[in-house]
Amino acid sequence: MTRSGRRVDPRAAASTAGRWLVVAALAYAAWRWLLAPSVPRVFVSDPDAVLHRLQLWIGDGTLLSLVVTTLSESVAGFVAGSLIAIVLAFACGLGPQMVGELVEPAIASLYAMPKFAFIPLLYVWLGNGFVPIVIFVALTVLPIVFLGMLTGLRTVDPLRVQMLRLFGASQRQVASKLLLPHGLGYLGTSLTIASHNSVASAVGAEILFGSADGLGGTMYRAGLTFDTASVLAALFAATVISSLYIRLFQAVSRSGSVPPARG
């Protein structure tokens, strides 16, 4: 039994693992013996070359350095963006109505805006480096978490609020006993979505900034030198990080600490 109370069927888990292995083997075979020989190496590199590159990167510590760079940018941006979003959502959801009337349209506009458009501005203003990428990731995370949290705070059954008030609960008690636990479910869902976005944003920002480091920076530089194996190896590493992020937040959402959003 898991912490969330879901029973894990070992046979089903083994079957899923087996299926993934077979599909991976099929993909490798198709790539190795069908695709690679018929396409120039510049366009699609040999899968063995990609594996060899990953092996080299693991051996000399390059992979760890690249992953740490991208991960630190995405985590820092994710944490900063989420914290600001949560504070703003609380201010809009629980504070005076006018605060929401002023802040919400601004965040909604930010949500609709193609976020990558901020990169040239950040580049010209702050140059290339850790800080502008973190600011960019925070900008992409902020509206997702804000809108999720605010929806959570605003979708509480008004009858429940009324009932608590009838029993003499103060505004603070209504917030801590009802609004906050309800909002946390939505927060978990929005954090899961934002976490995936934060990795993609960090990789995208590194590519557009032309960074010298990080997985996106490696994709950018390897692309310039027609090094397809490195592009694919970095893309593979980014996919693994992104999957782990998604799994982590899904697990947190499912666990008792953050109940999953309903409805």
Partner 1 sequence: MAGPARRPRRVRVLGARLAVLALVFAVWQLLPQSVLPDYAFGRPAGVLAALVSLISSGTAFIATAETLRTTLLGILVAAPIGILVAFAAAAAVGAWVIEPVTTVLYATPKVGLISLFILWFGLSTRGHFALVLMTVGPVFYYAARQGLSEVDPNTVIAFRLMGAGRLKIARSLVIRSMTPNLLGVTRLAFPIAFGATVFAELRVPVGVNLGALLSRYALALDGDNTVAIMLIMGVVAYILDVAISRPLRAYAQRTGTGIPAV
- From CA 92, how far away is CA 82, in angstroms rounded? 15
The angle formed by the CA atoms of residues 69, 116 and 228, to the nearest 5 degrees, is 55
Q: Kindly state the smallest distance separating residue 235's Cβ from partner 1, in Å.
A: 5
Q: Which is nearer to partner 1, 178 or 222 (CB)?
A: 222
Residues 29-48 that bind partner 1 (CB under 8 A): 42-43
Asked if 95 contacts 171 with a C-beta cutoff of 8 angstroms, the reply is no
Does 222 contact partner 1 by CB under 8 A? Answer: yes
Token pair 């959003």 in the structure block, residue: 261
Does 145 contact partner 1 by CB under 8 A? Answer: no
Does 119 contact partner 1 by CB under 8 A? Answer: yes
Q: How many CA atoms lie within 13 A of 77 on its CB side?
A: 31
Site pattern 76..115 for partner 1 (x: CB under 8 A): ----------------------x--xx--x---x--xxxx
Site pattern 238..257 for partner 1 (x: CB under 8 A): xx--xx--x-----------
Asked if 234 contacts 222 with a C-beta cutoff of 8 angstroms, the reply is yes
- From CA 190, how far away is CA 78, in angstroms rounded? 12
Q: Kindly state the smallest distance separating residue 78's Cβ from partner 1, in Å.
A: 14
The values of phi and psi at residue 258, to 5°, are -125, 100
Does 159 contact partner 1 by CB under 8 A? Answer: no
Does 163 contact partner 1 by CB under 8 A? Answer: no
Q: Kindly state the smallest distance separating residue 223's Cβ from partner 1, in Å.
A: 4
- From CA 221, how far away is CA 96, in angstroms rounded? 50
Does 228 contact partner 1 by CB under 8 A? Answer: yes
Could you give the dihedral angle defined by the CA atoms of residues 168, 173, 175 and 180, in that order, rounded to the nearest 10 degrees?
Answer: -130
Does 207 contact partner 1 by CB under 8 A? Answer: yes
Q: Kindly state the smallest distance separating residue 181's Cβ from partner 1, in Å.
A: 24
- From CA 86, how far away is CA 191, in angstroms rounded? 11
- From CA 260, how far away is CA 49, in angstroms rounded? 42
Where do contacts with partner 1 occur on this chain (CB under 8 A)? Answer: 19-20, 23-24, 26-27, 42-43, 98, 101-102, 105, 109, 112-121, 123-125, 196, 199-200, 203-204, 207-208, 215-216, 219-220, 222-223, 226, 228, 231-232, 234-235, 238-239, 242-243, 246
